[in-house]
Chains A and B, each alone.
Chain A
Amino acid sequence: MASAAERDEGAAGAARPRGDVWVFVEKAGDGVAEVSLELLGKARELADRLETRVGAVIIGAGSALLAGSLIAAGADTVYVADEPALADFLVQPFARVIVDLVREHAPQIVLYGATTTGRDLAPRVASALRTGLTADCTDLQIGSHSTREKSWDNLLLQIRPAFGGNIIATIVSPEHRPQMATVREGVMKLEAPNPARTGEVVRATCTFGDEDFAVKVVRRAQQEKSVDLKGARVVVSGGAGVGSKANFALVHELARVLGGVVGASRAAVDAGWIGHDHQVGQTGTTVRPKLYVAVGISGSVQHRAGMDQSARILAINTDPLAPIFTVAHYGVVGDLNDVIPQMITAYRAKGGPA
């Protein structure tokens, strides 16, 4: 294990920016949230490029048990704040731990999942450290940036949709450290763990004030997830064009017959035809099934952002000019009340005559 002094020397010798690449690790039940494992894989790639190391920060009672899996996922150092008072996620004490660790160890990059936890926590940390933060990134790269006066190398390029998904912006934080970003779940590839990797575990010492625990948890409830959109091979989604809750039964029927799950656009969720768990898109779930069937979905940028990586996209819509056709591989211009029953019959007949 390299000491801090050796590490700094190595980094300076290679003329690389100093500081490690960190990931704030979220827990999911007794394990590690998938988004955090995805980020450790990405952090490994960025750190290799910068010739530096990967740090993982994990907070909460019992966290020390997870250190091994974080090292296997790419971490060189795991900073553990394993304190009984930190059983529940609470933004203020968690922010305190991260701010103290960052001040002590000066990482150059800190990444968070763009979850309700990461998006609660990261801005509070960024404000305390007076550093930059980019929300909900969909890609991260290392690159340069220059203005008329100055140029910078080896910056974190933080790439994200903005303006309702109508533009893709590349954001940099040239002069402030650490460079921080929240990253959308499911966009970074989940690498296979390497149990042979080795790393160190560093216990974080925390000093809290009473004000850090001013907020109390009254109740925390997990609802049984009724739908697994992310893992589905086929997703059949309905939008405003479905027209009514009764018509939505056809969407359910097609999904059932094709062995898929039911998705929805925001318009269908807002209309009350189906629950928010089913929403696909920027404020819902990002899906990448083998087949995505968009029924009566006009295809706003927000919706397309959540499904345009599907292997095949079939759009069924009465409006031939609907934007959904710009991303669809196959399009049927027609009424779902005709098209869906025909598709069900054709599938059952394996494409043969009805």
Chain B
Amino acid sequence: MTLRTIVLVKQVPDTQNVTGDAMKEDGTINRGALPAVFNPEDLNALEEALRLKDAHGGRVTVITMGPPAAVNVLRESLYRGADEVVLLSDIAFAGADTLATSYSLVLAIRKLGEFDLVLCGRQAIDGDTAQVGPQTAEKLGVPQITFVSCIDELVEGDAAGAGTGGGRGHITATRSIEGGFETLTAPLPCLLTITNEANDPRPPSVKRVMTYKDAAAETLAEYDDSYLDPENDAAEVCMLDRHGNAVCRAKVVQWDAAALGVERAQVGLRGSPTRVKKIDSVVLAQTDTRLVEPTYEGIAELVRKLTEEHILG
């Protein structure tokens, strides 16, 4: 059988490396100053997909939903070994919470046809919800194993559907739980969410970067815009250099709301049960820190004070 793996990825602001440059005068964060990055645990998910492909063969398809600039994480996926990439982009998707996001992702997965595995990162570093994976699994009607720190084994089914543990094969994975772990076996197809304990993602392949680097240097505005035609939903997107010559033939499939055949009431803000009522910035105001001299006398006085206050016993 040919293992068909779909990886769900997200482009996110780099919230893990908030430096002084990203802080505004009032001590709040300047979101515009944060670089957009490949969500770290989605890279772990992609790595697991590529390892399974290395061992079993097959095809890895990467899907992202986001603004046109999110194509950057798809190029990063191509650099590392993805066979096919899909961008879901439409103003109708804007403002989606996890429920509406999983709805759109499920339509895209179904449109791609049969699959064996869906992998995604445990959670994205902008929202930290860890909800899209399980919600996607539920809508697909497949089992889920979340917080996977290790894929122990994948057993392929045979073409006739008589493989061990179910016709399509099965996967065994270990998930980290409070104070321990559990190892579960699920029949294919199923969905796994992967943590950063699973692997160290491979770097981009130099050869593949050479293949796609010109493409990466061009902006989306210079794409052949045939992708805008919903009928032409697998258009080969050529990127043009300054002289109008095609430089890259990567298949970036782009689908909008019409191409997915969405029910408008289920996507974007309209399809989202949750609303953000209020956002408060965490202000890094200097508290009254008492500076203690780094001398024995200074430290001894601090110890005396903490002992008097019964902070130290």
- Write the residues of chain A forming the contact surface with B, with a CB cutoff of 8 angstroms: 91-92, 95, 115-117, 119-120, 122-124, 126-128, 130-136, 145, 157, 161-176, 211, 214-223, 225, 233-234, 258-259, 282, 290-291, 300-302, 311-312, 314-315, 321, 323, 325-335, 338-339, 342-343, 345-347, 349-354
Closest 10 CB pairs of A and B: A164-B15, A334-B294, A351-B304, A132-B273, A123-B134, A176-B273, A127-B138, A127-B135, A135-B129, A123-B131
Residues of chain B within 8 A (CB-CB) of A300 are 16, 18
> In whole angstroms, what is the CA distance A341 to B15 when docked?
36
Q: Which of B28, B274, B287 has the most CB of A within 10 A?
A: B274
Which residue in B18, B175, B303 is a CB contact (below 8 Å) of A347?
Answer: B303
| Residue numbers in A under 8 Å from B15 (CB-CB) | 163-166
Whether A163 pairs with B130 at a CB distance below 8 angstroms is no
Query: Does any Cβ of A come within 8 Å of B74's Cβ?
Result: no
Partner of B273, one of A119, A161, A164, A175: A175
> Which of A134, A225, A347 makes the CB contact (< 8 A) with B274?
A134
Are B294 and A135 touching (Cβ within 8 A)?
no
A215 touching B280 by the CB < 8 A rule? Answer: no
In the complex, the answer to whether B185 meets A343 with C-beta atoms within 8 Å is no
Q: Is the CB of B99 within 8 A of A132?
A: yes
- Which one of B85-93, B143-151, B155-163, B218-226 is at the interface? B143-151
Inter-subunit contact A135/B128 (CB<8 Å): yes
Cα of A117 to Cα of B147 in the assembled complex, Å: 10
List B contacts of A321 (CB < 8 A). 20
Q: Are A221 and B281 in contact (CB under 8 A)?
A: no
Q: B51-59, B176-184, B229-237: which lies at the A interface?
A: B176-184
State which of B13, B144, B275, B296 has its C-beta within 8 Å of the C-beta of A354: B296
- Asked if residues A346 and B303 are in contact (CB atoms below 8 Å), the reply is yes
Q: Are B18 and A124 in contact (CB under 8 A)?
A: no
Decide: A167 and B277 in contact? CB cutoff 8 A: no
Contact B311 A301 (CB under 8 A): no
Chain B interface secondary structure, helix, strand, loop or mixed? Answer: mixed
B215 within 8 A of partner (CB): no
Q: Write 15 A-B pairs (CB below 8 A) sorted by A numbering.
A: A116-B147, A119-B130, A123-B135, A163-B15, A218-B185, A220-B183, A223-B179, A223-B181, A225-B179, A328-B289, A330-B290, A330-B292, A342-B295, A346-B302, A351-B304
Proximity string of chain B (103-140) to chain A, C-beta cutoff 8 Å, 1 when within and 0 when not: 00000000000000000000001111111111101110
Kindly identify, within residues 163 to 218 of chain B, every residue whose CB is under 8 Å from any CB belonging to chain A. Answer: 166, 172, 175-187, 190
Q: Which residue of chain A has its CB nearest to the CB of B271?
A: A130
**Which residues, 289 to 313 on B, are CB-close (under 8 Å) to A?**
289-296, 298-304, 306-307, 309-313
Interface residues of B (CB under 8 A from A): 13, 15-16, 18, 20, 28-29, 31, 97-99, 102, 125-135, 137-139, 141, 143-147, 166, 172, 175-187, 190, 272-282, 284-296, 298-304, 306-307, 309-313
Evaluate contact between B182 and A164: CB separation under 8 angstroms.
no
- Chain A's closest residue to B286 (CB) is A326
Chain B residues within 8 Å of A91, by CB: 134, 144, 146
Please state if B139 and A215 are interface contacts (CB–CB under 8 Å): no
Name the distance in Å between A32's Cβ and chain B's nearest Cβ.
14
A172 in contact with B186 (CB, 8 Å): no
Partner of A124, one of B128, B138, B286, B289: B138
Among the listed A170, A333, A346, which residue makes an inter-chain contact with B278, where contact means beta carbons less than 8 Å apart? Answer: A170
Instruction: Please tell me if the beta carbons of A333 and B273 are within 8 angstroms of each other in the complex.
Output: no
Contacts of B310 in A (CB 8 A): 290
Q: Are B182 and A220 in contact (CB under 8 A)?
A: yes
- Assuming the A-B contacts A126-B99, A135-B131, are A220 and B294 also in contact, with contact meaning beta carbons closer than 8 angstroms in the complex? no
Q: How far is the CA of A149 from the CA of B291 in the complex (A)?
A: 53
Nearest-neighbour CB distance to chain A for B182, whole angstroms, equals 4
Cα distance A95–B31 when bound, in Å? 37
Contacts of A215 in B (CB 8 A): 143, 145, 184-186, 190
Asked if A351 and B307 sit within 8 Å, CB to CB, the answer is: yes
Residues of B within 8 A of A216 (CB): 184-185
Contacts A119-B130, A124-B137, A223-B180 hold; do A168 and B277 have CB atoms under 8 A apart?
no
A175 surroundings in chain B (CB, below 8 A): 273
Q: Is the CB of A172 within 8 A of B138?
A: no
Tell me the complex Cα distance, A134–B307, Å: 42
Q: Do the beta carbons of A117 and B177 come within 8 Å of each other?
A: yes
